[in-house]
Amino acid sequence: MHSSDTSKPKRAAGDKAAARGPKQRLVDQHRGNSELVEQEEQRKDLGFGTRINESVSRLINKDGTFNVNRRNEGFWNRINIYHRLITIPWIKFLGLVLTFYLSSNVVFATLYSLLGYENLSGIENVTPDTPIGRFMGAFFFSSQTLTTVGYGHISPVGYWTSGLAAIESMFGLLLFALATGLLYGRFSRPVAHIRFSRNAVFAPYLDINGWMFRIINERGNQLIDVQVEVSLSRLETKADGSSYRRYYGLKLERTKVNFFPANWTLVHPITDDSPLYNCTAEQLADSDAEFLILLRGVEDTFNQTVHCRYSYRYNEVRWGEKFKPMFSGSMDGEGTVTVDLNQLDETEPVSLN
């Protein structure tokens, strides 16, 4: 619900409305906002809207997804098989592949058994002549057909069994084609492996203070043209005492780097036009503050754009701490700059300006 107040009841217009054209009526002194200011505020809400006026657990989860429930989503839309098969962990993916392979073979083995084991020539040489043995023979024949390995020591005889084997081998090829696409999709999918420092900090910056966090690229591949946007979301109180969620863009010392070879400390300098100016830890907590971070970059191997979201809630921000250096200059004597990734979260107390 991004548009604020689309259903506001008709205002008691009084004498003022008579003297104003519709354009002017947008600039409503009672609201104390020009249209442009209103739009500017809107622009910073990132798409959450102002109606989330109670404390929420958080807007952006730690894995970058949004903390939004979707009720009555259609079953197939919710499932979105391909999307899920691409994003689930590898161990789960391989488990699913194995499960699907086994159950497909069970289904086809059952069908072959219904068509009669006598139509699987050679089955008697492979497994014992017991119900389980025959079924397992059909199972193995099915697996040899599905994977197109087709040894032929068991072979189909007669119209129906041969026909079913013809169908199964085509089915196997399509499955294989699918697996190929999924494996390629999983590998080539662009993902930003950015690690954010566990906490953000309020630390001295030049001769004022700054709100800071630190990031590294977890992977050895290069990220280039990295851009970061930070917004502050917090509850504020209107003149009539009702609360609403307001969003501020936080100006950063620097919003883009061409290369990202090491670590990057992002700093929002708390100047007197910052929404954090004179803000205390208690006020942050009371206003249910959350810092929303959006990062974009280009992954260098495939030159794909990658996105990454993160957020720090008020209780993940430390006051009066600064980050310890990760960057040890060229201390190895070979003129190579060295970065210690383990130091990412390390902070030490410091007195604020």
Binding mask 78-97 for a second copy (x = CB under 8 A): x-x-xx--xx---------x
- Contact window for a second copy (CB under 8 A) among 109-117, 234-242, 311-319, 324-332: 324-332
CB of 27 to a second copy, least distance (A): 10
Residue 341 is given by DSSP the state G
CB atoms within 10 A of CB 57: 9
Q: Using the rule CB under 8 A, which residue among 136, 235, 279, 281 binds a second copy?
A: 136
Binding mask 220-249 for a second copy (x = CB under 8 A): xxx-x-x--x--------------------
Nearest to 352 by CA among 198, 206, 230: 206
Query: Contact between 285 and a second copy (CB under 8 A)?
Result: no
Q: How many residues bind a second copy (CB under 8 A)?
A: 170
CB crowding 37-53: b at 16 or more within 10 Å, else e? ebeebeebbbebbbebb
Query: Contact between 164 and a second copy (CB under 8 A)?
Result: no
Q: Using the rule CB under 8 A, which residue among 88, 307, 345, 349 binds a second copy?
A: 307
User: Which are the contacts of 142, defined by CB distance < 8 A and separation ≥ 6?
Assistant: 104, 105, 108, 109, 112, 168
Query: Contact between 158 and a second copy (CB under 8 A)?
Result: yes
Q: Using the rule CB under 8 A, which residue among 28, 111, 318, 346 binds a second copy?
A: 28
- Contact window for a second copy (CB under 8 A) among 61-69, 107-115, 236-244, 279-287: 61-69
Q: Using the rule CB under 8 A, which residue among 58, 281, 316, 346 binds a second copy?
A: 58
CB of 333 to a second copy, least distance (A): 10
Q: Using the rule CB under 8 A, which residue among 230, 267, 284, 289 binds a second copy?
A: 267
Residue nearer to a second copy on the CB measure, 114 or 183 = 183
Q: Number of C-alpha atoms within 13 angstroms, CB side, residue 17?
A: 6
- Contact window for a second copy (CB under 8 A) among 108-116, 234-242, 312-320, 325-333: 325-333
Give the C-alpha separation, 146 to 174, whole Å.
10
Q: Which parts of 171-200 interact with a second copy (CB under 8 A)?
A: 172-174, 176-185, 187-190, 193
Q: Which parts of 104-123 interact with a second copy (CB under 8 A)?
A: 105, 121
Name the token pair of 350. 């410091």
Residue nearer to a second copy on the CB measure, 19 or 125 = 125
Phi-psi region of 166 (alpha: psi -120 to 50; beta: other; left: phi over 0): alpha
DSSP 98-146: HHHHHHHHHHHHHHHHHH-GGGEETGGGTS-SSHHHHHHHHHHHHHHHH
Query: Contact between 11 and a second copy (CB under 8 A)?
Result: yes
Q: Which residue has the tokens 């979105």?
A: 80
Nearest to 216 by CA among 105, 84, 323: 323
Give the C-alpha separation, 104 to 343, whole Å.
49
